[in-house]
Amino acid sequence: DARGRASVRARAGARSRANALVTTSEYKVAVLGAAGGIGQSLSLLLKMNPLISDLRLYDLANTPGVAADLSHTNTGCKVTGFMGADQLEDALKGCDLVVIPAGVPRKPGMTRDDLFAINAGIVRDLCQACTKACPNALINIISNPVNSTVPIATEVFKKAGCYDARKIFGVTTLDIVRSNTFVAEAKGLDINDVDVPVIGGHAGITILPLLSQTYPKCEFTSDEIEKLTVRIQNAGTEVVEAKAGAGSATLSMAYAAARMAEACLRGLSGEPDVYECTYVASNVTELPFFATKVRLGPNGAEEVLPIGDISAYEADWLAKLKVELTGSIEKGMAFVNN
Ligand code: NAD
Ligand code: LMR
């Protein structure tokens, strides 16, 4: 009857309102560079994540406005803005996860390594603050050049005597997100079902999609392999050129960083079988840092998985990328130690 239907509708309404305020919140997360292109979109996505109870937004300027704006969204996560270096340690205190998209982005014609001169010092200083305020937090580094900023973060934590190789991650998730999108489009696959591992690092030829390991199993012509590999390696530049001087990928990066942050938190929560490709301290090759699939758990990177079987084409790229990646790693380590 009408009363019954109204009561069903009321219960459904209550349920959907409850869903908007899911109550499993638990973790404290800081975004450093939160007022930037990536930082703002990423903060919105994290504010919507029911695993996060306390979101701290840190930047040199504009965080009070971003935090006030975000704080009006009715999700069960508290958001606080912190501005300027003297508020940095307060922003970090007690954090389980720190996500770092602070620093300058590329303009057309630049390589990611051209950002080193400015971003290396930014990442070093932010990580130094982490060693003091939240030495056990997981650190997700987005700031480029990731191939060097992860070694920089590592050296900073070593110097401070609180280094744990399982806790520092270079965020390469955007390379996986792009590979999945491009492969699904090229092969007419269900986008929700595609998984392409991407290994190596995060710059040009150091980005190596393993199309031979695509899930679901997929046949590619050699022309398709060449075109997809090169497009994935140059996808960041594709966006930089399309934005024509207004920066690099921000929205797709925020999406990718939110996925990586969630994977880290699900791992921390003890959920089994959480895997992401990410650039970490690694024994998988002779290089001290390398991106492969990693199992995330209560301590961070619990297991760094091997490369697995690869094609002759991929082996060729692997040999080439190791040369460039070695240089970027050494440059990052020298920056902190010399
Ligand atoms: P942006 O200029 O829009 O934002 C950067 C923010 O960092 C700004 O708000 C700025 O005030 C802040 N910042 C600068 N120095 C800081 C400091 N010392 N402490 C705190 N905040 C500081 O740039 P963006 O587009 O958001 O890109 C940020 C970085 O992310 C760039 O280095 C870019 O190359 C990198 N990036 C990485 C990936 C990846 O896949 N890993 C993808 C896209 C962009
Ligand atoms: C990307 O891959 O989009 C980022 O690393 C930003 C860039 O400079 O390309």
Taking the mean position of all CA atoms in its chain, how far away is CA 54?
19
What's the mean pLDDT when you consider all of the chain?
A: 94
Q: Ligand 2 pocket test: which of 111, 116, 174, 250 has the largest number of ligand atoms within 8 Å of its C-beta?
A: 174
How many angstroms separate the CA atoms of 216 and 337, rounded? 45
The pLDDT tens digits for 97-120 are 999 999 999 999 999 999 999 999
Residue nearest to atom 37 of ligand 1 (CA): 142
- For the beta carbon of residue 111, count every other beta carbon within 10 angstroms: 13
Cβ partners under 8 Å of residue 227, min gap 6: none
The pLDDT tens digits for 245-284 are 999 999 999 999 999 999 999 999 999 999 999 999 999 9
Nearest atom of ligand 1 to the alpha carbon of 39: 26
- Please report, for residues 10, 48, 88, 207, 292, the alpha-carbon distance to residue 14 in angstroms, rounded to integers and kept in the order given: 6, 19, 39, 47, 43
Residue 82: both structure tokens together: 């912190």
Average pLDDT over residues 316-331: 98
DSSP state of 103: S
pLDDT value at residue 80: 98
Annotated active-site positions, please? Answer: 202
Residue nearest to atom 2 of ligand 2 (CA): 236
pLDDT value at residue 25: 57
Q: Is 62 left (phi over 0), alpha (psi -120 to 50) or beta?
A: left
Q: 7 CA to middle of ligand 2, Å?
A: 51
Residue 197: both structure tokens together: 């591992």
Name the E strands within the chain.
27-32, 52-59, 78-83, 97-100, 138-141, 168-170, 198-200, 207-209, 274-281, 289-297, 300-304
Say if residue 11's pLDDT is above 60: no
How many angstroms separate the CA atoms of 22 and 16, rounded? 10
Name the E strands within 50-196.
52-59, 78-83, 97-100, 138-141, 168-170
pLDDT value at residue 268: 97
pLDDT value at residue 181: 98
Nearest atom of ligand 2 to the alpha carbon of 237: 9
Q: Ligand 1 pocket test: which of 110, 150, 253 has the largest number of ligand atoms within 8 Å of its C-beta?
A: 253
**pTM over cut 0.80:** yes
pLDDT value at residue 9: 41
Average pLDDT over residues 222-239: 98
How many angstroms separate the CA atoms of 33 and 56, rounded? 11
The pLDDT tens digits for 139-162 are 999 999 999 999 999 999 999 999
The pLDDT tens digits for 29-70 are 999 999 999 999 999 999 999 999 999 999 999 999 999 999
pLDDT value at residue 17: 42
pLDDT band at residue 324 using 50, 70 and 90 as cut-offs = very high
pLDDT value at residue 18: 43
Residue 333: both structure tokens together: 């380590």
DSSP state of 105: P
- For the beta carbon of residue 47, count every other beta carbon within 10 angstroms: 20
